[in-house]
Every structure is written in C-alpha cells, then in structure tokens.
Amino acid sequence: MRAAVIRDGRVEVEERPDPVPGPDEVLIRVRAAGVNGADIGQRAGRYPPPPGVTDVPGLECAGETEDGERVMALLPGGGQAELAVACRAHVLRVPEHLGWEEAGGFVEVFATAHDALFTQAQLQERDRLLVNGAAGGVGVAAVQLGVAAGARVTANTRHHHDELRALGADTELEGEYDVILELVGGANLAENLGRLAHGGRISIIGVGAGARADLDYGHLMYKRARISGSTLRSRTVAEKEDVLRRLEAFMRPHAFRVPVEETFALDRAQDAYERFAAGGKLGKIVVCPSWPGVSFV
C-alpha cells in the first residue's frame, strides 16, 4: 500500500507493507482521513506516536471494511494510507447523511470535543459555553455538541462568523461563561479566568498559540474555578472505547456535520499539511487516498 510518512519535517508518500489486523482489529480500505493538529505536531517532531504505534500519521479515517461496511474509526496513527487497521471497539458506522470526506474528518474531533465538554467540564443544559478557536475541526464539533445539549454557545474566532452563527452560536463575547473550551492556548488563560463565572470550568485541549501562561492563583480561588486538560491519543483501548460509546449515544438523535475546507489526494499530503498550518480554515482538511489495484482478497 501507499502511505504518508514524515521525513525531515516533510510529508512524503512511500510504499509500505499492507497492515495485518489482529483478532480484535478491523482492516479498513481508506476513502478519507482527516488532518489534525497532532499530525502537524508529529511532522514538527513535537508529538511522536506512542510506543508500538505506526509512524504513519492520521488519527481518524473513514472507509470500507472487508465486508463492505461503511465505517469511520479513531486511530492511534496510520490513517493517512490506502489501508488502515483499527481496534474494533474504536469503529463507528458512518451515518447516512455523511459523505466520505466528512466521515474521514469526524471521529477524532467529535470524540475530543465531546469528552472535553461533557466528561471533563461537565457541560449542562443552559450553561453558557465559550469555545476559543471555534472555526477549527474540534471547535466546530464543540459548537454543534454544545448547541445540541441546550447550552448557550459563543464561538470566539477571527473568521467564519456567519458560518458559526448558522450552527447556532453567538459570536459576540459578552458576560461570563460556565464552561470555556480552550483550543488556542497561550495568553488566553488569563482572559479565560476573567470571563469565567463563579464555579466555572476551563477545559484545555489545544495549545497552538503556546503551552505556557501566567496564572493568578488568587483569581482562580476567588472564582472557585476548575481547570482541566486532556489528550486522547495516549489513552488506553478501554478509555477510548468509553469515549466513543458516550459519543455514539449522544449522536443518535442528531445529524452533525463536518465542514470540509479542502481535500487533497494522498500524493499531495504535504500540501494538505501546509494548508492546515496556514490557518483561516473552517472545519477540516482531509486527505483522500486513491488506491487503484488495492482490493480485499
């Protein structure tokens, strides 16, 4: 099979042996695979795959199983290739309303956002939710999840205001917030404390603008605030399964969408990463492998 690989800070495509699924795994012929911030970090050498995980990037994909079932999967790596292996417990069926490109960019961002909002920050109906960095993949997912839960959602971003309002979010910062989802990092922490309601929660899952910030402990104590942070990739198989089962149950009555900014053939994976890094996108950048001659035997 052909697969994306990282060589000296660049993404190239090379031949790799076809992956062989184990007894609790499923082989997927990949139609689409999302590009995520973790992939950009891996290319930069800041976020290597966990021990024992393939060096092929890609934390989510969508495609067909050997039985012809349309599935999308959460992966520790390996999605940006013609074939991928996923833990059977980390596979979801593709909803009828999603095409391949949307499905390929769905699981990682919705699982991350759902876990951060509901498990970590305990978002409740009628809570005021602020999503910092709302135009990216996780941000757009968080906006939709918050609206579906009955929260009052504000999307904080420099662009795509009309599109985010169409998803049900306000785009004007006003008042205090019960939950703040932080996807940007850096100096936002001090501003977040100023905007947080008493007893509020800040969930940090993105640090693209920097991983360090000054913290006023007195302000934190006065607000009776709670700050949590999490990542998804390094969790155990059972922990990831729990995240996905919670997401799957929440999804059933809804038809969530994945705005796709641009798609790239596998041969143009480097261009896909550059487009992601350039910013200004709405939703996802997706790599779509072409696989002439690749078939299940």
**CATH label of the domain that carries residue 68:** 3.90.180.10
Domain region containing 144: 110-229
Residues 158 and 222 in one domain: yes
For 130-151, write each residue's pLDDT tens digit.
999 999 999 999 999 999 999 9
Residues 175 and 211 in one domain: yes
What phi and psi values does residue 221 have, to the nearest 5 degrees?
A: -65, -40
For 29-58, write each residue's pLDDT tens digit.
999 999 999 999 999 998 899 899 999 999
Amino acid 161: pLDDT: 98
pLDDT band at 290 (very low <50, low <70, confident <90, very high): low
Amino acid 244: pLDDT: 98
Task: Kindly state whether residue 244 falls inside one of the protein's structural domains.
Answer: no
Which residues does 281 contact at the CB level (< 8 Å), separation at least 6?
135, 136, 261, 262, 275
Would you state the structure tokens that stand for residue 141, as one six-digit string? 């997912």
Could you say which of 229, 249, 272 is where a domain stops?
229
Residues 123 and 48 in one domain: no
pLDDT higher than threshold 60 for residue 219: yes
Mean predicted confidence (pLDDT) in 170-184: 97
Task: Kindly state whether residue 118 falls inside one of the protein's structural domains.
Answer: yes
Mean predicted confidence (pLDDT) in 244-270: 97
Mean predicted confidence (pLDDT) in 106-115: 98
Cβ neighbours, 10 Å, residue 185: 20
Task: Kindly state whether residue 296 falls inside one of the protein's structural domains.
Answer: no
Task: Kindly state whether residue 268 falls inside one of the protein's structural domains.
Answer: yes
- CA angle 49-50-56, nearest 5°? 30
Cα-based distances in Å from 117 to 24, 172, 191, 255: 29, 21, 19, 19
pLDDT band at 215 (very low <50, low <70, confident <90, very high): confident
Task: Kindly state whether residue 158 falls inside one of the protein's structural domains.
Answer: yes
How far apart (Å, rounded) are the C-alpha atoms in residues 119 and 44?
30
Residues 69 and 42 in one domain: yes
What phi and psi values does residue 12 have, to the nearest 5 degrees?
A: -120, 170
Task: Kindly state whether residue 184 falls inside one of the protein's structural domains.
Answer: yes
Amino acid 272: pLDDT: 98
Residues 269 and 206 in one domain: no
| Reduced DSSP (H G I as helix, E B as strand, rest coil) percent helix, strand, coil of the chain, to 5 | 30, 30, 40
How far apart (Å, rounded) are the C-alpha atoms in residues 19 and 179?
41
Torsion 194-195-199-201 (CA) sign: negative
The answer to whether 192 and 180 have CB atoms below 8 angstroms apart is yes
Closest by CA position to 137, among listed 286, 25, 292: 286
Residues 183 and 72 in one domain: no
Residues 93 and 141 in one domain: no
Residues 6 and 99 in one domain: yes
Residues 141 and 81 in one domain: no
Amino acid 210: pLDDT: 85
Task: Kindly state whether residue 85 falls inside one of the protein's structural domains.
Answer: yes
Residues 221 and 119 in one domain: yes
How far apart (Å, rounded) are the C-alpha atoms in residues 233 and 230?
10
Amino acid 91: pLDDT: 98
Amino acid 80: pLDDT: 98
Q: In CATH, what number is assigned to the domain containing residue 212?
A: 3.40.50.720
Mean predicted confidence (pLDDT) in 119-130: 98
Percentage of the chain lying above the pLDDT 70 cut: 97
- Residue 278, amino acid: A
Average pLDDT, the chain: 94
Q: How many domains does the chain fold into?
A: 2
pLDDT band at 296 (very low <50, low <70, confident <90, very high): very low
Residues 94 and 119 in one domain: no
Beta bridge partners of 287: 33, 264
pLDDT band at 187 (very low <50, low <70, confident <90, very high): confident
pLDDT band at 291 (very low <50, low <70, confident <90, very high): low
Task: Kindly state whether residue 243 falls inside one of the protein's structural domains.
Answer: no
The answer to whether 139 and 169 have CB atoms below 8 angstroms apart is no
Amino acid 209: pLDDT: 82
Residues 196 and 94 in one domain: no
219 or 30, which is more confident? 30
How far apart (Å, rounded) are the C-alpha atoms in residues 112 and 233?
10
pLDDT higher than threshold 80 for residue 96: yes
pLDDT higher than threshold 90 for residue 213: no
Cα-based distances in Å from 213 to 131, 183, 227, 229, 275: 18, 14, 13, 14, 28
Which ranges in 115-227 belong to alpha helices (H)?
A: 137-148, 161-166, 188-195, 217-223
Percentage of the chain lying above the pLDDT 90 cut: 88
